[in-house]
Amino acid sequence: MIDDSLARKAQKQLYKAAREIKFDKNLLKILENPMRILKVSVPIKLDDGKIKVFKGFRCQYSDAKGPAKGGVRYHPNVSEDEVVALAAWMTWKCALLDLPYGGAKGGIICDPNRLSEPELERLTRRYTTEIMPILGPHIDIPAPDVYTTSRTMAWIMDTFSMFKGYTEPSIVTGKPEILGGSKGRKEATGRGVALITREFFKAQKKSLKGAKIAVQGFGNVGGHAALFLSQLGAKVVAVSDASGCLIDLNGLDVPELLDCVEKHACIIKYSASKIDKEQLLFQDVDVLIPAALEDQIHQKNADKIKAKVVVEGANGPITPEGDEILEKRGVAVIPDILANAGGVVVSHLEWVQAMSGLYWEEEQVNAELERKLVKAFKEVWANSIKRNVTLRCAAYVVAIERIAEVYRYRGIFP
């Protein structure tokens, strides 16, 4: 069993679902442990000629259902504990969406804002080289995550291809369209958050029109979630990023705000009432979307949440203790492994397109994304009602039962 906090948190969620269905204890021993963790040193020459050695990780949590799949993040707080937890969540997410993937995650301990683009390129290429023994389109397929982009994926793809001696577009997803990236991939996670929120309101026979939304983290996920929810008739009244928080009870102009972020890389240049960014979580809204980092809602602040429903745009934004408080208070939580699964759904579609060499229009991609997410939501909703459990517990039940079925057929080697 992992002792560090974030991985332990991921395990607590697994154990809760396992108890609910009296899960096979022998299979649980497999699922509670990561399959493989690779730790690497990543030395690069900085622009000033000095050598700096960074630490990197890649965790492949499971490959029972297929190749491992998961993002690569660049952040000062990256740790082995974090990538293990994130890889575990990717495992359950892929199983819940019934994708032919296991879960993986990677990262480098660094502050990308303090590195030049040439330094980031050298960092990415060296990291790729170090983890290459466990990479491959049928082994492990990286994708963008916190502070990594389609350009990062292009560097990974090129590095892998140079070593192999041929171009391999299926080694990563989330890459530029010109290199075989899928239309709709950039918006997919945010679009998925909006679609799942819409389905939740439908299931409760409520209208999303006029619902007040607060979004913590106005990056790619939060920004697109806000955009699509506003297009569905909801009113985005508060948003935040690292620079601060904006609030307008009459509704923010989301397209203008996205333009501001595009130009200035932050929301604070936009003219609206500014408040302390920490206060965004406590706004009196219908829907709160934490789309930043982990552990934002916890035992010390969960009792201050006024939203009626929390939709997890980020991975692990609520601690187990925070979850319990919200549950007792009657605040519905749509879990990350369902709410933000749009990205991996379209990553799978991108991988399929790259493997086949046949590329689809955005309408086809978005239609398949919606079909998969609606199907998964209905399965989770039905399980939640049938078992009288939270949506998180229901989502985990669907996921781990699916993985258990795989093991029942495959068995344990040797």
- Residue (of 135, 145, 69) closest to 107 by Cα position: 145
Same domain, 125 and 258: no
Same domain, 275 and 226: yes
User: Is the pLDDT at 27 greater than 50, yes or no?
Assistant: yes
- The answer to whether residue 396 sits within a structural domain is no
Instruction: Place 201 in a pLDDT band, splitting at 50, 70 and 90.
Output: very high
Instruction: Place 271 in a pLDDT band, splitting at 50, 70 and 90.
Output: low
Segment 19-31 shows an average pLDDT of: 92
- The answer to whether residue 158 sits within a structural domain is yes
Same domain, 113 and 40: yes
Segment 386-397 shows an average pLDDT of: 96
Instruction: Find tokens 């290199």 and name the residue.
Output: 179
- The answer to whether residue 162 sits within a structural domain is yes
Q: Give residue 218's domain range.
A: 186-334
Same domain, 163 and 42: yes
The contacts of residue 300 (CB under 8 Å, 6+ apart) are: none
Same domain, 79 and 199: no
CATH assignment at residue 111: 3.40.50.10860
Q: How confident is the model over 342-355, as pLDDT tens digits?
A: 999 999 999 999 99
What is the distance between the alpha carbons of residues 399 and 62, in angstroms, rounded to a whole number? 13
- The answer to whether residue 408 sits within a structural domain is no
Same domain, 161 and 190: no
- Residue (of 127, 256, 257, 287) closest to 194 by Cα position: 287
Q: Are strands 287-290 and 273-275 parallel, antiparallel or unpaired?
A: unpaired
> Domains in the chain: how many in total?
2
Same domain, 212 and 319: yes
Catalytically annotated residue among 105, 175, 235, 372 = 105
Q: Catalytic site residue 105?
A: yes
Least confident of 6-10, 163-167, 265-269, 350-354: 265-269
Q: How many residues does the chain have?
A: 414
Same domain, 201 and 322: yes
Instruction: Place 241 in a pLDDT band, splitting at 50, 70 and 90.
Output: confident
Using CB atoms within 10 Å of the CB of residue 344, give its burial: 0 to 12 exposed, 13 to 18 middle, 19+ buried: buried
Which amino acid type is present at position 203?
Answer: A
- The answer to whether residue 19 sits within a structural domain is no
What is the share, in percent, of the chain residues with pLDDT greater than 90? 86
